[in-house]
Amino acid sequence: METTGMTFTLTRRGLIQLLAATPLAGRARAGEVWDGIVAEARGQTVYFNAWAGSPQINAYIAWVGEALQRRHDIRLEHVKLADTAEAVRRVRDEVTAGRAGSADLLWINGENFRVMKAEKLLFGPFAEDLPNFALVDIAGKPTTRIDFAEATAGLESPWGMAQLTFFADGAKLPTPPLSMPELLELARSAPGRITYPAPPDFHGTTFIKQALAETMADRALLPVQIDRQAFTEAAKPLFEFLDALHPELWRHGKQFPQTQAQMTQMLADGELLVGLTFNPNEPANLVATGTLPSSTIAWQNRGGTIGNTHFVAIPVNSTARQAAQVTANFLLSPEAQARKADLAIWGDPTVLDMAKLTPEDRALFTSAAAPGSVTQPAPAIPEPHGSWVPLIEAAWLERYGA
């Protein structure tokens, strides 16, 4: 059943491309195909499997559900997850057993996407045929099409932007460290008040990737496949840096916080000086909810920080693919993206290109500076190729793990 559905869609995609090749008629016919999808989507229920650790994000998804119900007669059910890998395992088991899917849309990126793509667990390509995909800033934000050095190949639709960001209480730390060497200096002057989460926590691994990017001789190596030998050579300065940093860290680098959330709590309680996050607007958001003081400052390292994009994807065995595509398209609309970027709602940066929007749509993105927001954004350093991660984690564990 899954295969027939996919062939059908592939044919449809082929049709769109064929029609697009014939000038004039192309755009209109592609529009007709999309209208067909929208019509089929009516009355369907989309089970959106998404991490649910933030009340603000959950409220935003609930708003999306209301809008879809009103405009497209689609019922959106937020299946709340503590960890996206759970949905990956569920889809894998369902596909192996030949069962219809329990998930229609996944919030996904990175390792989870790589695994699902490799195991052919995703429906598509569909993403670049969505009408609103034309508004995506694929040139300015290349990670909207390359997820952790893996080509998205239209199997996932960009939803929001993420970039490693540090934050602190400006009353305690007026001049933040804008590079890894400056962080080391700070750790030396305030021993025990700096740390990072232990890998394999995702944020911990990202911190190490950031240190790697800032210390390595040739950053051009990052996007390519690497073997153990080349890694050992390339990572030498990284481990020299960490060897120097660790004795100055919290608990002398013998213990680390388990998660980024725990680190944020330790910062809020006053035990640590610097926190880190992947959502540049999280600090401002935490100020808004009262977790952090209004004197909070946020920054990105001067030479750039690791950045990526998060996406939505449709499992290959979804039973509501049309409605899932309409949902993905709505998530890309200027209205939904602007609401998502609003610091009072969620504060997740948009994937759209402002230059491609109409003036009215552009006006929706009113980004007033709020306490805790990043004042001087730095360029994004794309995630290293997937082959780096297991090597980084193994080497780190070997050196500092026991």
Partner 1 sequence: MARTLRRLTPAQGALPILVLWVLPLAASMLMLLPAIAEPDAWRQLQSHPQLWSALVLSLATGGGASVLALLMSVLVLAGLDRSRALPQLQALAAAGLALPHLAFAIGFGFLIMPTGLIARLIEGGATPPPWVTVQDSWGLSLMLALALKELPFLLIAALAALARGDGTGHLTQERRVAASLGHGAGSVWLRVVLPQLLPSLRWPLVIVFVYGATVVDMALVLGPTQPPTLAVVIWHALNHADAAVNGMGLAMTLLLTSVLAALVATTLLLLQVTLPRLRHWLCAGPSLLAAPRGMAVVTGTMAGLLMLAAILLLALLSVTPRWPYPALMPPAVTFAAWTTLGSSAAPLWLSLLLAATTALAALGLALLWFETQPEGRDRWLIGLALATLALPQLAVAGGQYRLFLGLGLTGTLPGLFLAHLTPVAAYVLIILQGPYRAFDSRYMMVARSLSVPASTAWLRVKLSLLRAPVLTAAAIGFAVSMAQFVPAQLVAAGRYSTLPMEAVTLSAGGNRPLTAAFALCLAAPPLAAFLAASLLGRPRWR
Closest-CA residue to 395 (of 218, 217, 232, 204): 232
Q: How far is C-alpha 177 from the chain's CA centre?
A: 25
- 259 in contact with partner 1 (CB under 8 A): yes
Nearest distance from C-beta of residue 53 to partner 1, angstroms: 3
Q: How far is C-alpha 87 from the chain's CA centre?
A: 17
Nearest distance from C-beta of residue 380 to partner 1, angstroms: 23
Q: Are 178 and 301 in contact (CB under 8 A)?
A: yes
Question: Which regions of 105-207 does DSSP assign to beta strands (E)?
Answer: 105-108, 146-147, 150-151, 156-163, 165-169
CB closer to partner 1 out of 112 and 333: 112
Q: Are 241 and 163 in contact (CB under 8 A)?
A: no
Candidate ranges 53-61, 146-154, 305-313, 333-341; the one touching partner 1 (CB under 8 A)? 53-61
- 401 in contact with partner 1 (CB under 8 A): yes
Q: Which amino acid is at 334?
A: P
Nearest distance from C-beta of residue 322 to partner 1, angstroms: 19
Structure tokens at 268: 């809020």
Nearest distance from C-beta of residue 23 to partner 1, angstroms: 44
- 164 in contact with partner 1 (CB under 8 A): no
- 63 in contact with partner 1 (CB under 8 A): no
- 198 in contact with partner 1 (CB under 8 A): yes
- 74 in contact with partner 1 (CB under 8 A): no
Nearest distance from C-beta of residue 297 to partner 1, angstroms: 16
- 262 in contact with partner 1 (CB under 8 A): yes
- State how far the Cα of 104 lies from the Cα of 318, in Å rounded to an integer: 5
- State how far the Cα of 293 lies from the Cα of 162, in Å rounded to an integer: 23
**Binder to partner 1 among 116, 127, 216, 336 (CB under 8 A)?**
116
- 54 in contact with partner 1 (CB under 8 A): yes
- State how far the Cα of 384 lies from the Cα of 115, in Å rounded to an integer: 16
- 367 in contact with partner 1 (CB under 8 A): no
Q: From the CA atom positions of the chain, what is the Rg in Å?
A: 22
- State how far the Cα of 83 lies from the Cα of 66, in Å rounded to an integer: 25
- State how far the Cα of 360 lies from the Cα of 8, in Å rounded to an integer: 37
- 333 in contact with partner 1 (CB under 8 A): no
Interacting positions 284-303 with partner 1 (CB under 8 A): 289-293
**Binder to partner 1 among 266, 303, 385, 387 (CB under 8 A)?**
266
CB closer to partner 1 out of 93 and 240: 93
On the question of a cis peptide bond just before residue 200, with omega within 30 degrees of 0, the verdict is yes
- State how far the Cα of 3 lies from the Cα of 93, in Å rounded to an integer: 17
Interface residues with partner 1 (CB under 8 A) are 47, 49, 51-55, 58, 77, 79-86, 88-90, 92-94, 96-97, 99, 102-103, 111-112, 115-116, 192-193, 198, 200, 251, 254-262, 264-266, 268-271, 289-293, 397-398, 400-402
